[in-house]
Structure formats: structure tokens, C-alpha cells
A = this chain, B = another copy of it.
Amino acid sequence: MKSGPAPLEKEASANNRKNLSRSALRRQREREKRFQTILHAAAELFAGEGYHKASMEMIADRAEVSVGTLYFYFKNKEDLLIRLIDEIGYQLRNLLAAAFQKEDPSLEGIRLAGIAFFEDFCPNNPERAVIFFRESPGQSPLVESYRKKIFNKVIGDVQDALTRIGKYQGTPYQSPVSAEVMAVSIMGMFERIAYHYLIWHDRSEELKMVGEDAVTFILGGIDQLCRK
């Protein structure tokens, strides 16, 4: 309560301000850290035990906090899941956006995006793939609405990239919904390939080859839809 030797007026003030901002910052940092600790614990358990089997108590234990603290940082269990899929969706979009931006609008961007997904995202975030593709569907209307929103965004990104490519190359698509169908298809391929080779069968070492075939498949499909 009592600080050391009395500092001069202005200095004291400055010091004080500095102290305040320091402690405030530290608080902020620790808050953020705790938030992530909890989210991480939840992710591990959702992926490992399944969303339903993972109880709030288990999550609290793993995060080394009390149950009450969980509810200080998150509204409820559903919120935990929503934050997770939000974060994963964000990561996924960034990954794809980076791939698309590496090149001029061309199929090369699509290829890079596929490689990013299969060779970067999947092997490095298997837990997140599990949550995104296996644990989050069909859990509640609210979660489902978030999933829908996120998928729509990712699909929209891919669709935009395809549209840009089409315009850039002067290749029209077969039907008005073609770009959308392709984007949805690509998303579906990514999803089920991850599910198949990562979640169900642990064949992650084949993912590189699988991804290449998948990308070839996609490029062939796009090409075909540009023909007529």
C-alpha cells in the first residue's frame, strides 16, 4: 500500500501512470492467456473425447482452473465450441486467401490452396480438423448456424477466386451456379478427404500424394466446366 521513497511530483505521476498501464497491460495479457488456455483445453477434449463426453468439469480440470472460471470467460459450453469453430474458420480462410494471393488469378492459386490444406493445415491441426468436421455438426441450432456462416464464407472465398480466374482467363462457366457448385464441391472434397485419411484412417503420410491427386482432380473438373 505504501510505495517506497516519495518521488517528485511529475515523476511520481508519470511513474504512477506507467505502473497503472503496466499492471493493466499485464492483466489484459493474462486474461488473453487464460482465455486461450481454456480454449485449448476444450479443443483437446472435444477432439479426444467428443463434444458431449467432454464435461465442463473435465475442461476446467485440464485448463487448471475452476468451473466458475470457465463461465467467466465463456458464456456456456456451446460458446466454447462456437469460439473454436470460429477460430478454425478464420485460420482456414487465411490459409486459402494466402494461397490465392500468391499468384495472379489462375488455377495455380487453386493448386496452392489445395496444397496448403492438405500439406499444411491437415497434418499440423488434426485436432482442429476433428472439431470442425466431426464434432461440430448437428450439435445445436446455434452451433449449426455458425457452421453455416463459416462454411458460406470459405465457400464464398473459393467461389470468388474461381470467378476471378474465369474472368481473367475469359472462360465462361457452364451454368450460372457453376462457380458456386465448384466451390462447394472443393470444400466437400477437402472435408471428406481429411475425414478419410486423417480422422478415420491414419494415413497422414499419404496426404501429400492424396492431395496432389485431389488437386489434379479439381483442376480437371474446373477445366471441364469451362469448356462448354
4 residue pairs, one from A and one from B, having the closest CB atoms: A220-B224, A188-B192, A217-B221, A188-B188
Residues 38-71 of A, flagged 1 when their CB comes within 8 A of B and 0 if not, give: 0000000000001110000000000000000000
List the interface of chain A (C-beta within 8 A of B): 2, 4, 6, 50-52, 133-141, 144, 148, 151-152, 155, 174-175, 177-178, 181-182, 184-185, 187-193, 195-197, 200, 206, 209-210, 212-214, 216-225, 227
B214 touches A224 (CB 8 A): no
B155 touches A196 (CB 8 A): yes
Interface SS of A by simple majority = helix
Number of identical protomers: 4
Residues of chain B lying within 8 A (CB to CB) of residue A219 = 224
B140 touches A137 (CB 8 A): no
A190 touches B193 (CB 8 A): no
CB of A7 to closest CB in B, whole Å: 12
Residues of chain B lying within 8 A (CB to CB) of residue A141 = 50
15 contacts between A and B (CB under 8 A): A2-B6, A148-B200, A174-B213, A175-B209, A177-B206, A181-B214, A182-B217, A188-B192, A188-B193, A191-B191, A213-B225, A217-B224, A219-B224, A220-B223, A220-B224
CB of A135 to closest CB in B, whole Å: 5
Residues of chain B lying within 8 A (CB to CB) of residue A181 = 193, 210, 213-214, 217
B182 touches A213 (CB 8 A): yes
Cα distance, A216 to B226, chains bound together (Å): 10
